Amino acid sequence: MTETRPAWGEPLQIGSVTISGRAVFAPMAGVSDLTFRLLCKEQGAALVCMEMISAKAIVYGNRRTRELWETDPAEAPVSLQLFGHEPEVFAEACGIIEKERFDILDINMGCPVPKVTGNHEGSALMKDPALIEKIVRACVEHSSRPVTVKIRKGFDEEHLNAVECALAAQEGGASAVAVHGRTRAQMYSGQADWTCIAAVKEALRIPVIGNGDVTGAESALRMMEETGCDAVMAARAARGNPWIFREIDAALKGKPVPERPVRKEVIRMLLRHADMLCRQKGETIGMRQMRGHAASYLSGFPGAARVRGKINRVNTLEDLEQLMSKEYPYA
């Protein structure tokens, strides 16, 4: 499939939305909040996705839910992701958020968490392709944005129906489908199977985004070559590493891949991320939420486990700055 290489550096059309590249930041609960999306966008993510939001919570007017869809013009285009299982609830939620500022509406059909699948939501929807089509159609009919869907290889090894589910989404009017090459039963373990991504791409006439084990430029190139997908989606590998998008973007555009950041650059980004979180959410909440991000940034640093323990006891941005200066004075 190397003949498609020249197109990798060109913009990608998803319905009425044009994204400038082929590197996509996945929606991840507790990770892809506004501050981190902005950093990933700055580093080269062509499309960034919000944390998943309950369609039912939107309909019920949950205040916490409203905070999740806050956006910034600098991150556009941005995708808002809904989860649920009732077409009529999706339709009502679409009407409520119609006036909000986002560019693409995504439907989560890949989340493997038991409390989600136990309610016939997330990847549990893959058990019912007919329902997938109904949900997508309800969203398409009640939203002015392109509708996309994120699925998995299947629910388990006995139900590997990614192609069937993707076709159902396309029939319902979806403008693109993202495919994670693991089953729900695998969660995030084992190796992602990219052959299912290739099969979905072969079957669909709309763009397909590949997801699973994209850890940098090399794996992104390999996924594009092996599957023929239209874009690649980075998820866990982006935690504490927004630079992954500048690497992927450069590689897909045929440019030299930038070097991985030195420790000084990582510490600078960690502190900048913390400052942005505190400005957005207040220091108390911002510092608490930063703890998980900080642990990811420090992966591979000397004494990282010990320092992470200290970070969990830090409550102010100033204290975090002093801790980093003390622990990594030459970074």
Annotated active-site residue in 40, 111, 165, 196 = 111
Q: What SS3 class is residue 23?
A: strand
What was the pLDDT predicted at 66?
81
Domains of the chain: 2-252 (3.20.20.70), 263-327 (1.10.1200.80)
Per-residue pLDDT of the chain (331 residues; tens, 9 = 90+): 334 455 788 999 999 999 999 999 999 988 999 999 999 999 999 999 999 999 999 999 887 888 888 999 999 999 999 999 999 999 999 999 999 999 999 999 999 999 999 999 999 999 999 999 999 999 999 999 999 999 999 998 888 999 999 999 999 999 999 999 999 888 888 899 999 999 999 999 999 999 999 999 999 999 999 999 999 999 999 999 999 999 999 999 999 999 999 999 999 999 999 999 999 999 999 999 999 999 999 999 999 999 999 999 999 999 999 999 999 987 6
What was the pLDDT predicted at 331?
62
Q: Using CB atoms within 10 Å of the CB of residue 88, give its burial: 0 to 12 exposed, 13 to 18 middle, 19+ buried.
A: middle
Distance CA 240, CA 269 (A): 9
Task: Answer yes or no: 229 catalytic.
Answer: no
Q: Give the single-character DSSP code of 155.
A: S
Distance CA 41, CA 145 (A): 20
Nearest to 178 by CA among 231, 136, 139: 231
